[in-house]
Chains A and B, each alone.
Chain A
Amino acid sequence: MTLPLRLRKVLVLSPPLIWVVLFMFVPYTILFVFSFWEQVYPTFAPAFQLGNYQTLISDPQYLRTLLRTIKIAGLVSLFSLLLAYPYAYFLVHKVRHPALRQTLYMAVVAPLWVSYLLRAYTWKTILGTEGILNSFLVSTGILSEPSSIFLYNQTSMIVTLTYVFIPFMVMPIYAALEKIPRNLLEASADLGMGRTATFVKVTLPLSMSGVVAGFTMTFCLAFGDFIAAYLVGGPDGMMISNVIATQFGASLNWPLGSALALVMLLIVLAIISVSDRFERLGKGTFA
């Protein structure tokens, strides 16, 4: 006996559907509702008012933190790209031996299996006053005593987040580069183009989908990060997520936190839709 097709479809689709409703739709709806509530010291009460959003606009510290977060996430993505592209290119085009290529690729990806906390914490031990960098500089006589300038600022944030999220840049770029048929590069040479011209006219445009995907992922991950700020950020390295966490924690102002979270969500959605459009421009190229 077989179930009717309609029923079978429902059975197959229901687990993911329930998942999405329960863990995406419901929480966001709650956030949305909360964002109109108001703070009634020491806690908060149901209401329908736009005060939280007004606070976000009128109090400059929120906009400042948001812009700082965008700047840090942008720089993290940029440095990831500048490091990841040459590395992926090197792997695809210069490493002839498949096993060596696989190993070098895994060297980038494998850290993803290590706890995020551990990876971020590593940089604390490298950059701190008792850290490897300082002891190296002191032992070589470049510094007379350990310096605290390496840690708890935006630079240490960017270094740490770049290290943590660079696999998400390498992976899509590597995939995009590997997908480019070699004979396209040969055809370009055949038609008189040198290496640089071939790179600019063929390799780069055909790997743009990977660059866009990598940039989007790295940016969104860095944009939403708040652990690195606790570990290596310091007051200058506070991210928007840290502010949200505070609102839901110590400040006990869930309505304002919800409003901030929704603004953040909108920004991320906007970035994803733009990058999606970019990627679609390059689609259909390998038919």
Chain B
Amino acid sequence: MTDIIRLDGVSKQFGFVMGVDNVSLNVRKGEFLTLLGPSGCGKSTLLRMIGGFEEPTAGRIWLDGEDVTDLPANQRAVNMLFQDYALFPHMSVGKNVGYGLRVAGVPKREVETKVREVLELVGLADKIATAPHQLSGGQRQRVALARAIVRHPKVLLLDEPLSALDANLREAMQVELRHLHQKVGLTFIMVTHDQTEALTMSDRVIVMRQGRIMQDGAPQSLYDLPGSPYIADFIGTTNLFNSRIENGQVACYGQPLTINPQAIVAGTQTFGFRPEKARLLPGNASGANLLRGTVAEVFYHGSVARIVVDLGQGQVLVDLQISDAAVGLPKAGAQVAVEVASHKIMGFAAEDAA
């Protein structure tokens, strides 16, 4: 038995709206799983149902082989890292962390030892007597984390854990959470709307939309083999265009591109390529699979520049690695060619408009 969580046709209906729509999902023991999607896609509701804060209107939830669907939150061996930490303001850091241990009937001395241990793990051993409001945002986050893992839950639920932190701290915490996951060996289920966060931290990402699972896979497979135009553009950026296939060629805003036969799915209508997988060439370049146009805008990002190329009937984005650009950044209005190798072009089955 390696599945720690099993969701079986779980739904949550709010009035006439399906917040979560018939989701089935297995989570392996020790996995770092991320539920990714825009706000309102049902990812938080799903997490809260696993935590016991919402009751599903249909389906069953299994935790470590036990049906916990009807168990209240305080009887489930899962713990939650709340979005705004939810630290008890009237208790010290130590009391906050030890809160859940005292219920479990752990002897006082042992509570103290465990609290110390876990605070050391998150690097806050010296703050044990401090009040939460005297801590910085990052420190509060760590206290919340310590409080959530001190009971060794079967699953740790993380609800947008990094959204309240500023950019630098967020990146540091990403690394820290991942290291912590490896160190403590718990199963993590995280909810986020930030695709970078999802890709960086998780073993497996579930992309959700309108209460349903859109795609389920390792970060790399999601990025390289997006299952739909929606995911292609939600995870990373993709130049999407609609076209018919004629003689193994498609038209990108009127200009022909040769595609690989593998990209042809039954009913293929939408195609796409990623900005960083195309090459920007001078306007006089010659070769196959070139799109010709003029530079409309240049966005400089430091190591990379994103170039908007106007093809006449539409625009595509191309990323230019600064180190590669011997000629320097192109200027707006310059004539350029965009080379898109045929195997870099992705094809998607027709999707119901959404």
Contact = CB atoms under 8 A, between A and B. Distances in A.
A183 B74 contact: no
Interface string B71-99: 01111001110111011111000000001
B90 A285 contact: yes
Contacts of B80: 186-187, 190
Contact of A191 (B72, B83, B103): B103
Contacts of A192: 74-75, 100, 103-104, 151
Q: Name the interface size band of chain B.
A: 20 to 34
A202 B131 CA distance: 15
A146 to B, nearest CB: 52
B86 A183 contact: yes
A190 B131 contact: no
A189 B74 contact: yes
Interface in A5-60: none
A205 interface: yes
Contact of B99 (A191, A194, A206, A285): A191
A274 to B, nearest CB: 20
A197 B88 CA distance: 14
B86 A184 contact: yes
B151 A187 contact: no
A187 B90 contact: no
Interface string A248-287: 0000000000000000000000000000000000101111
A202 B87 CA distance: 11
B74 A190 contact: yes
A187 B82 contact: yes
B86 A186 contact: yes
Interface string B90-118: 10000000011001100000000000000
Contacts of A205: 90
A67 interface: no
A206 B104 contact: no
A193 interface: yes
B149 to A, nearest CB: 12
Most chain A beta-carbon contacts within 10 A, residue among B53, B86, B87, B147: B86
Contacts of A201: 99
Interface string A92-110: 0000000000000000000
A197 B102 CA distance: 11
B130 to A, nearest CB: 12
A181 interface: yes
A190 B79 contact: yes
B133 interface: yes
A188 interface: yes
A193 B88 CA distance: 13
A167 to B, nearest CB: 27
B51 interface: yes
Interface in B7-24: none
Nearest to B51: A190
B90 A191 contact: no
A190 B90 CA distance: 18
Interface in B28-62: 51-53
A287 B99 contact: no
B86 A187 contact: yes
B133 A285 contact: yes
Contacts of A286: 89, 133
B86 A206 contact: no
Interface string B132-149: 111000000000000110
A285 B132 CA distance: 8
Contacts of A188: 74, 88, 99
Contact of A184 (B79, B88, B100): B88
A201 B96 CA distance: 11
A278 B179 CA distance: 44
A191 B82 contact: no
A284 B131 contact: yes
Contact of A186 (B53, B75, B78, B90): B53
Nearest to A195: B74
Nearest to A190: B80
Most buried by B among A192, A201, A285: A192
A186 B348 CA distance: 43
A184 to B, nearest CB: 5
Interface of B: 51-53, 72-75, 78-80, 82-84, 86-90, 99-100, 103-104, 131-134, 147-148, 151
Interface of A: 181, 183-184, 186-194, 197, 201-202, 205-206, 282, 284-287
18 contacts: A181-B84, A183-B84, A184-B88, A186-B53, A187-B82, A187-B86, A189-B53, A189-B73, A189-B74, A190-B52, A190-B53, A190-B79, A190-B148, A192-B100, A194-B74, A205-B90, A285-B133, A287-B132
Q: What are the 4 A-B residue pairs with the smallest beta carbon separation, nearest first?
A: A287-B133, A191-B100, A285-B89, A187-B86
Given A188-B74, A193-B74, 18 more contacts: A184-B86, A184-B89, A186-B53, A186-B86, A187-B80, A188-B88, A189-B53, A189-B72, A190-B73, A190-B78, A190-B79, A190-B80, A191-B79, A191-B103, A191-B151, A201-B99, A206-B90, A284-B131
